[in-house]
Structure 1
Amino acid sequence: MFGHERSITQIKYNREGDLLFSVAKDTVTNVWYSVNGERLGTYNGHTGAVWCVDCDWDTKNVLTGSADNSCRLWDCETGKQLALLNTNSAVRTCGFDFSGNIIMFSTDKQMGYQCFLNFFDLRDPQQIGDNQPYLTVPCSDHKITSAVWGPLGEFVIAGHENGEINQFSAKSGEILKKAKEHTKQINDIQTSVDLTMFISASKDNTAKLFDSTSLDHIKTFKTERPVNSAAISPIMDHVREAPHSGDCVSYTLMWDIPLPFSLLSSVIC
């Protein structure tokens, strides 16, 4: 699939798995048929690198966050921009809760501004029109580098640049639980299909499996290089290896775990 002129920053499937969304440092958001790699269209409007993308449960809306200091809501089918939420710094992570009614996004700690985790209710047009979230959570110590929704949309699981993982309440913003199993920045967090578990990928050369509700550490997967991304797949027998690129090798690894899932991770040097 050729649709980006610069490196890809994130890819995301819709719930059915028939569509794949990709974003990159070239400002473009693409949507593809996952079966044959045909590009269906683009979402154009960002003027900076696009760091994150998500799709709601019924593939109606798409959410993107960018280094142009904005988070944008799109109509998935037509590509029309539905909402523009301006921020003071780059938007690093974004996502819909399971209902598709609540969105969250985090902003970077830069240009004198601290990191914030913002929550908007899409059912309230005034919040969107006035660009006023119903909840803003400051993260003054260490910025959020990856975040996903937990079960039932009750909290957000956030990974930080210092390797810490926190649960933030979607109602009050308070930290419900903490875990500090990683020693370096968390690059990615992705959940299992039923949201009961999540896998974290870190610069400390490990990927770690956690219980989503308790944050109990279940298992560690070690590599020789920093782990850029990791995902829990419902497919048991699946291995993919990327080709060599100069002196640097980027590849994927597969581990079997004693659960109805298998683990796929991406390793970069």
Structure 2
Amino acid sequence: MRVRNNITNMKPPLLALALGVAIIPGLAHAQAEEIDAGIESPGNQVFLVRNDRGVMQYDTRTTNPGSGPNDLSRTNLGPYMPQLTASFSYGGVKYLFLRTGQYVGLDANSENVVQRLSYIDNNNWPGLAPYGNKIEAALRFKGSTILFFLSDGQYIEYDMAQRNIAFGPIAMNAITLPSLQNVAGQITGAARWDNNRAVIFLRGQRHMWFNFRGVNASGLPTPNFGSQFAQPQVFAGGYQGGYQAPPVPQYQPPVPQPQWQQPQVWQPQAQRPQWQQPPVQQPQFQQPVGSPGTINRLTNKLNYTADTQTLAMRPDSHRIATGGWDNTLSIWDSSGQTLVHAVAISLQGRGDLLLDTAFSPNGQRIVTGSRQTGNTAEVTVNVWDASTGSQALILQGAPTGFCQSVAYDPQGLRIAAGCFSQTTGNAMVRVWDANNGAQLFQINGVDGPVTFSPDGNLLASASGATQEINIYNSRTSQLLQTLQGNAVSGIKKAVFTPDGTHLVTGNFNGTVTVWSIPTGQIVSSFSGHAGPVNDIAINRNVTRIASAGEDGRLILWDSSTGRQLSSYNGPKPLRNVLFNPDGDVVLTGGDENIIRIFAD
């Protein structure tokens, strides 16, 4: 929705002013550039990537200032430089991590692509997916251990040999990384210098040396000015050059699409270039129609008979869950060419209608929300083992009413449910600890839909009575923002955009609306349904929005223009819609009790 500033064409001192960075007094030949990443290369070479995308080349055997800044835009590294945030080398591969939540692997010597540009998920980086957009720096530590420093001041120890998180995420404190506790959240980049130490770069053009043996930093943060890391300005004649890289291979990886950072909503970070809010009713998403990984039209490919009042997909797409009036949650194996029924979970005594369901981020559990049968008290929010169908967790104070919306937070730490009492009409949202089932808090007067922001910091929930949707701090339940849903006759479904700065809603008046979280205003609105929009989905690249309506219509929208790309007219109301992780398949279900699978 917001287009990233092209900061690489800005000349000093405009670049520093735009980024809110102070120029170092008295230094005519130096420009205050932050270091965003360090790239290890053979021959004792390290390349430090600045936030203006200039690159300084260093020989780690000396303490001499490096050469540069160099322009790598025409090398194999070029396509990834605009979004590069972290890098390390391991096993003969240079791993580059991008602000878009993606990564790419290059051969350490030839710099040819050996692991194609992909999003960080549980297939390629098990356990790391929830933190992909938070990575600020990465560092090859001891053995197969990689340190990932996150924007919220936490860090992760990742074991490359075991392919999982060995420790964290956890705060840098007096016990974990005592020498870095005072600079937590200030790290902008890191580079392994040799087998004994690394250099950590901080906001404000500072650095610290980090010793591997003692797992500590030596001394206090030191200004880059006056050290070998003083950054010369980009002269009018352009970058100095001098870096020789292999010719770019024939394979051209897709250039990462503009993504939005996940700033703290109420305190935008100044150290990164800020996105520009588009004017109201203007197109937001800038990816062109027909881009890779998205569908351009809806072609009904496969149908499966199943009760489909609710529909969910496991994050790795290998399982699909369906359910409804049959009082059974069915889990299907979708890893092959056809759906195979794998698990059936009876909700007997847990309500007479399954209304909503959601997989945990690791796919091991699934939470259901249902409707109570008559006046009999029945627990209507339940957590199940997705493999065996047994009850996996008992939720403290679990409701016994009408629970129409359930959600896991992206880190799998909390569960939320929006419910109301069928006898008193009282509405409430409850949030539980997903590990032990303890109730963390309850919010009265709202009943759903409930949805977490991608970073897990925000919780959105609607109020049917006031037609508002409230944005809460998901850890404290503090109300942060209210969106006035009366403009769209009330909100039926809500989904955050990947950066958490916008909310897309399906509304009772048949529209799909994009809201700005910081301002609470409508950015754009799409019309096409003759009744309420029951569900919406956004593909991963944020180029397509799919909406399912009470009128039986499934509409695929171009999110940059609001244009209808395609539609399907069903005979009965559609209740749910979702994209597969790659964004090239759409699934929907509803009162027809058929899973319909659409693709090009």
Fold in common (TM above 0.5) = yes
The answer as to 2:546 corresponding to 1:199 is: yes
1:253 corresponds to which residue?
A: 596
2:333 corresponds to which residue?
A: none
Tell me the distance in 1 between the aligned counterparts of 2:559 and 2:442: 31
1:103 corresponds to which residue?
A: 459
Return the match for 1:137 from 455, 474, 483: 483
Tell me the distance in 1 between the aligned counterparts of 2:593 and 2:409: 30
Q: Deviations over 1:227-252 (max 9, x none)?
A: 1212222488999999xxxxx85222
2:288 corresponds to which residue?
A: none
Tell me the distance in 2 between the aligned counterparts of 1:197 and 1:59: 26
Return the match for 1:62 from 415, 422, 445: 415
Q: Deviations over 1:31-64 (max 9, x none)?
A: 2222332321243432421111111111001111
Tell me the distance in 1 between the aligned counterparts of 2:585 and 2:514: 32
Tell me the distance in 1 between the aligned counterparts of 2:577 and 2:496: 16
Indicate how the Cα distance of structure 1 residues 82 and 166 shifts in structure 2: closer, same or farther if over 3 A, else same: same
Q: Deviations over 1:126-181 (max 9, x none)?
A: xx3xxx51111222240111111112001111111111111111111100111001
The answer as to 2:358 corresponding to 1:2 is: no
1:117 CA displacement: 0.9
Indicate how the Cα distance of structure 1 residues 66 and 234 shifts in structure 2: closer, same or farther if over 3 A, else same: same
1:18 corresponds to which residue?
A: 364
Q: Structure with the greater relative contact order (CA < 8 A, sep ≥ 6): 1 or 2?
A: 2
Indicate how the Cα distance of structure 1 residues 115 and 108 shifts in structure 2: closer, same or farther if over 3 A, else same: same
Contact 1:150–1:213 (CA under 8 A) maintained in structure 2? no
Residue identity (%): 20
The answer as to 2:496 corresponding to 1:149 is: yes
The answer as to 2:430 corresponding to 1:72 is: yes
One-letter amino acid of the counterpart of residue 135, structure 1:
Q
Computed over aligned residues only, the root mean square deviation of the Cα atoms, in angstroms, reads 2.6
Structure 1 gaps of 5+ residues are 243-247, 258-269
The answer as to 2:379 corresponding to 1:33 is: no
One-letter amino acid of the counterpart of residue 164, structure 1:
T
Contact 2:576–2:589 (CA under 8 A) maintained in structure 1? no
Write out aligned runs for 1:83-122 (5 A).
83-87=441-445, 90-109=446-465, 114-122=466-474
1:233 corresponds to which residue?
A: 580
Deviates more, 1:189-198 or 1:68-77: 189-198
Tell me the distance in 2 between the aligned counterparts of 1:138 and 1:178: 14
One-letter amino acid of the counterpart of residue 17, structure 1:
G
Tell me the distance in 1 between the aligned counterparts of 2:578 and 2:359: 12
Deviates more, 1:180-189 or 1:28-37: 28-37
Tell me the distance in 2 between the aligned counterparts of 1:240 and 1:156: 21
Tell me the distance in 2 between the aligned counterparts of 1:39 and 1:241: 26
1:263 corresponds to which residue?
A: none
Q: Deviations over 1:191-250 (max 9, x none)?
A: 3355543321101111112345654433212222211212222488999999xxxxx852
Tell me the TM-score normalised to structure 2 length: 0.37
1:74 CA displacement: 0.6
How many matched pairs? 240
SS in 1 for 2:407: strand
Tell me the distance in 2 between the aligned counterparts of 1:240 and 1:209: 12
Structure with bigger gyration radius = 2
The answer as to 2:405 corresponding to 1:52 is: yes
Indicate how the Cα distance of structure 1 residues 210 and 249 shifts in structure 2: closer, same or farther if over 3 A, else same: closer
Contact 2:579–2:585 (CA under 8 A) maintained in structure 1? no
1:19 CA displacement: 2.2
Tell me the distance in 2 between the aligned counterparts of 1:237 and 1:150: 19
Deviates more, 1:172-181 or 1:21-30: 21-30
Q: Deviations over 1:96-118 (max 9, x none)?
A: 10000111111103xxxx21110
Contact 1:29–1:42 (CA under 8 A) maintained in structure 2? no
1:173 corresponds to which residue?
A: 520
SS in 2 for 1:46: coil
Return the match for 2:529 from 162, 182, 189: 182
Contact 2:579–2:586 (CA under 8 A) maintained in structure 1? no
Tell me the distance in 2 between the aligned counterparts of 1:151 and 1:216: 21
Contact 2:447–2:464 (CA under 8 A) maintained in structure 1? yes
Deviates more, 1:147-156 or 1:9-18: 9-18
Tell me the distance in 1 between the aligned counterparts of 2:408 and 2:562: 25
Contact 2:577–2:589 (CA under 8 A) maintained in structure 1? no
Tell me the distance in 2 between the aligned counterparts of 1:213 and 1:42: 43
Tell me the TM-score normalised to structure 1 length: 0.80
1:120 CA displacement: 1.1
Tell me the distance in 1 between the aligned counterparts of 2:518 and 2:585: 40
Contact 2:577–2:587 (CA under 8 A) maintained in structure 1? no
Give the structure with the larger strand fraction: 1
Deviates more, 1:9-18 or 1:200-209: 9-18
SS in 2 for 1:171: coil
The answer as to 2:566 corresponding to 1:219 is: yes
Contact 2:429–2:443 (CA under 8 A) maintained in structure 1? yes
Indicate how the Cα distance of structure 1 residues 194 and 77 shifts in structure 2: closer, same or farther if over 3 A, else same: farther
